[in-house]
Structure formats: structure tokens, C-alpha cells
A and B are shown apart, each in its own frame.
Chain A
Amino acid sequence: MVKIAQVAGFLGSGKTTFLIELAKILVDRGHKIAIIVNDVGEINVDVRIVEMYGLKAKEISGGCICCQIAGNFANTIAVLQNTFHPDLIIVEPSGVAIPWGLKRAAEYSEEEMDGEVIVHAPVITLVDALRIDELIQSVRRLVETQIREADVVFINKVDSATQDKIDMAVKFSRSINPNAEIMFGSGKNNQGVREAADLIETRTSPRYDESYEKEMLKKEYGRKA
């Protein structure tokens, strides 16, 4: 079994810092961690930072997720699994990636691995409390998409943000995804990261293929499977 944990969030939301702290905690708990970065343009910087901490990092890139990146991503997971054998792969997708698309792509890697099954950890979306008003104005749609598909919304940088900003981030997140669990913390000061690691270790998120089949059955027969 290989568990995939997505840490989503827009540019500047603190993904890389959070991800490194998260990985260090999980390594201390005995996990073998690999990290995949999908961040066209900033990719090499992130990979270098990640590798400074002795974690295995791979980059992916390419065209659009529905055709090209999906194949690259699946292949990257399979190569990591076949050579490095991590029990947990943390993915830092681009701020414009769709979490469902990455889940699907991850599951495709099963065909290239010897009997391994992909399990998804809860999708964590970081929301930058410091810049929430700016994000809502500038990239509202993209932030909405990432919150909509999150299992956990992690309101980040709460150690620096005002309570008003934190409240605004919570209200915004709840309005888009009332079912998501809301967490608070700061990747920089390792606040809340341990709790996020607990969730990644103990919980799962639905698989794409199962959800897809259910949706197709619903479409075909007009009812839930």
C-alpha cells in the first residue's frame, strides 16, 4: 500500500515550509517519505529545499493534467515506489492543479507497480490567513476550487494574522466547503502540523476510481450505487 497525501494551496500559502515540517514529523515517526513537487516555474528551488532535509524529491511537469501530466505523475509515483519504496508520498501540486485530477493520476500508477494499492490521505488545502482578503479578490476562483475539493482546510500563518483575517478565512472556507475539517496553525512555527500529520497517518480520502464508478452508475441508472 502506498499512501498519497496532497498538500494544496496557492502561491505563497506556505506549502513548501508546511510540507517540510510535516515530512520531518512523519520521518521521526518511522515513515519512509517521498515528495513530489508539481510547480512549474519554481520547481527546482523547491526540490533543492526539500532535498536539503534528506527527503526523496521528484518533480513533475508537462502540459495539462487530463492528458500529459497525468501520465508523468503516475510514472513518477511508480518509479519512486519501485526504487525508493516509500510508505507515504507527499504531493505539493501547483496552485492551479485540481485535487481530483491528481488522485486519478496517482491511481493509474498501480498498473506500473507490483501489486501495490494507492490509498489517499485527506487532501489538505492551505489557506493563507495573512493574505486572505487579497486572495479572495485576486484568485478567488482558484482558491475556491482548492477548498471545494479539500478534506481538510488548514488556515495557515495564524501566528501572524489578525483574528479578523482568521475569521474571514474560516467564513470563506465554510461557505465553499461546509464538510471540510478546519484546522489552524503555522507551518513556520510548527503549529498544528503534528495534528495534520496525525490525520494523514490515520485517515483516508475517497479514491477517484470508486467515486467515478459511483457517478457513472448514478448517471446511468439515476440513483446512487
Chain B
Amino acid sequence: MADTMNHLERGMASLQNKPVDRLVTYPLAMGVCRRLVGDGKMTYRDWASDPKKFASAFIEGQKHFDFDFAIGLMDLSVAAGDMGSTVRMDDQNTPFVTDPALKTVEDYETLTPPDVKKGRSKVLVDGTKLFVDALGSQVITAAFLEGPLLSLTQAASAEKVFMDMYNNPSAVHKALKTITEYNANMVRGMGTTKCAGLVWDYLWGSYSCLGDKEYEEFEGKYARGLNELTGKEGMAMCIHNCADLPHLDTQIKAFKPAIYSMAYYPLIPGSPSAKETIEKGYADNCLIGGQIDPQGFVRWSQEKMQKTTMNLLQEVKTAMCARGLHSKYCIASGCEVPPTVTTRLENIKECVDTVKQYGQIKC
């Protein structure tokens, strides 16, 4: 069926739970879209180091796939790298930390906020501005930042941070305060790009890793301030969390994001499916995004991608109608579509096209 609303109309209606011509969709295809630029040989290193190249992938991705959103995820090592961690930048692989900057308790305590006008922090802000300028009149745009605890675990290694939460909590808090200061500066920087929203990656809000009390102590109290600042800087606060057992009561009901992006792990007892998420009221006041397996975009046939998307649409539509909702779900991947050269671009298109064809909802 042909679309009768444009992307902005549909996106805005979905955020307000108004009727739509079809559900919104955004497979989280960021780095992979560099393959659509020029001769298709842009390296990941170039893409993640040059604002123009970073933005060009979103612009070409939009032309090719006709998404409803554009969200500026680069990778999870931006802040850690600017804190002094060694980041390996392969040609066709997501950059990642190979030598964390923070190795001792003193390192936590002496950490200073990275300058957001230097390094890849600046690339991220400048690149976000470029794609927002190009796409902001077509789709809902958003910046993407790692939350304080995620940045710290990238800069010091996760196991070390988790042990230090117990052994050296005051040092961990000192580092988190410093990173929050950096994050606040990044929020202000992103505010100047005029993006409509800002997505926080609050990955450690998972019951596999932290209970409510620990999460509140080591991320919640920092996140609340950043969430508030995000709104003050004119951006809708959104959250991405691809963990297996997300803290939905805190991150959706208490934090009140406009959009919440999540994954589904069918073999983990208690991992919330799309249906359960809607049934339990988490989509009542928040646009939920998910939950197609990101690896499906690499591994599946187009037929399987279509079938999976159709199954998810059916599940979501049935649950939303039962809940009295019109449009509070975005058909998306539960995490970033792998940006590797083996990702099947046709599967991204298949997902979007299937939503266009079968995403109409009438209760």
C-alpha cells in the first residue's frame, strides 16, 4: 500500500499515539550505510573520523531505504577514546577499545572531562549537525550518546568497573561525575545541531548485571540530570538499551523517554517480547522500537526477513489493539544492524518495504 503520510507526519503522530497510515520503521542501520556512499568502499575508520563522511552515510541511507528516522550512532568507544583509551580502528569493523585508559583507582580520581571540541567527540557533533541539516525536514533526527556508566566501562573495562563499584565506590563515583560533566557538554553541543531528539545508550540497566538499587546508585542519579538537560536543550529524550533484561520500570516509567529502543532474547527467561512490553503498559506513553534480531540482517534470506517482519507486525498490532493504542511501536532491529561488509543491504530494504506493505493498523 502506498504511504499517505510523510515521514515527519507519521513519526509525530506515532509519538502522540495518533492514527497513522502505517507503523513507523527504522532498522538501526548506521555504519552499514557507508557502503552506499560513492564507490561503496569507504572504510569504517574514515566514516568514524570525518564528519562529512559520517553524515553522508545517513543521507545516502535515507535515499536508498526511505526510513522514518535518522539516529546518529557512531560506535561505543567515542568517549573512551577521547579519555585516552587506545581504540582500534579497522577498515571494516566497528572501532573498539584495546587498551583502556583507566587502570587504577587513581585514574578514576584524576580523570578530567574530555574536550568536546576535539577528537571524535567533535566529529560526532559536527557530523550529527550535517545530517540533521540535510534530513531534518524529512525525518525525525536524533543524536546518539553513550551513558556515563557505559562510557566508564569502555574506558576501564566492564569487569573492573563492576568490581570497583564494591571495592572503590567513591572513586567510581568520581569518574562518573567527570564523565557526566563531559556528557552534559556533549548534550549542549548536540543541542546546537537542532536534532529533534537525543538517544542515550543506557546499556547497563539490565537485571543480568545490576539490581534496581545498584543501577540507581551508579547510573540512575547521573542519568536523571542528563535526561533533564536533554529536554532543556530542546531535544526529546530517548533511550536505547539492547540488554537482555532491561530495567523497564526505571528507564521507561520513571525516566519517561519519548522513544525506547530494545532487543529481545527468546531464551533468556523474563526477556520481554514486543507483545509483553505492550501488554504491560510500557508503550502507553512511549514509542517502543524493536525487536528484530540484528544478526538476521546478515544471516537471513529476504524471505525470512519478510516473514519475521510480518510476524512482528502481527504481534505488535494485536497487542496494541488490545491495549487501545494506535501507533506506539516502531518496527526496528533490537540493536544496530551490523555494519560489516557481509550485512545484506537487501534485508534492510525488505524490512522497510514489508512495513510499508503490511504495517497498516486498524483495530
Residue of B nearest to A131 (CB): B163
CB of A8, distance to nearest CB on chain B (Å):
12
The interface size of chain A toward B, counting residues with CB under 8 Å, comes to 43
| A48 / chain B contacts, CB cutoff of 8 Å | none
- Contact yes or no, A111 B162, CB < 8 A: no
For the residues of A in contact with B, the DSSP-based class is helix
- Contact yes or no, B162 A142, CB < 8 A: yes
Q: How far is the CA of A71 from the CA of B344 in the complex (A)?
A: 13
Query: B227 within 8 Å of A by Cβ?
Result: no
- Given that A61-B96, A71-B298 are contacting pairs, would A94 and B338 also be in contact in the complex, using a CB cutoff of 8 Å? no
Q: List 14 A-B residue pairs with CB atoms under 8 Å apart, sorted by A's residue number.
A: A40-B96, A61-B98, A62-B94, A63-B336, A64-B203, A67-B294, A67-B333, A67-B337, A71-B295, A98-B268, A100-B267, A100-B268, A104-B295, A144-B208
A residues adjacent to B (C-beta < 8 A):
10-12, 39-44, 61-64, 66-68, 70-72, 94-96, 98, 100-101, 104, 108, 111, 134, 137-142, 144-145, 208, 211-212, 215-216, 219
| A219 / chain B contacts, CB cutoff of 8 Å | 266, 273
- Contact yes or no, A64 B335, CB < 8 A: yes
- Contact yes or no, A43 B98, CB < 8 A: yes
Query: B302 within 8 Å of A by Cβ?
Result: no
Q: How far is the CA of A215 from the CA of B293 in the complex (A)?
A: 15
| A211 / chain B contacts, CB cutoff of 8 Å | 267
Q: How far is the CA of A67 from the CA of B338 in the complex (A)?
A: 5
- Contact yes or no, B158 A68, CB < 8 A: no
| B163 / chain A contacts, CB cutoff of 8 Å | 11-12, 138-139
CB of A66, distance to nearest CB on chain B (Å):
5
Q: How far is the CA of A72 from the CA of B337 in the complex (A)?
A: 14
Q: Give the contacting residue for B166; candidates A12, A41, A139, A208; CB below 8 A.
A: A139
Query: B127 within 8 Å of A by Cβ?
Result: no
Query: B159 within 8 Å of A by Cβ?
Result: yes
| B335 / chain A contacts, CB cutoff of 8 Å | 64, 66-67
- Contact yes or no, A66 B268, CB < 8 A: no
- Given that A61-B98, A63-B76, A67-B335 are contacting pairs, would A94 and B158 also be in contact in the complex, using a CB cutoff of 8 Å? yes
Task: Find the residue from B203, B208, B210 having the highest chain A CB count within 10 A.
Answer: B208
Query: B12 within 8 Å of A by Cβ?
Result: no
Residue of B nearest to A68 (CB): B94
Residue of A nearest to B165 (CB): A138
A sample of 11 more A-B contacts (CB under 8 A), given A43-B98, A44-B98, A67-B338, is A11-B162, A39-B159, A40-B96, A63-B94, A66-B335, A67-B335, A71-B295, A71-B338, A72-B93, A139-B162, A212-B267
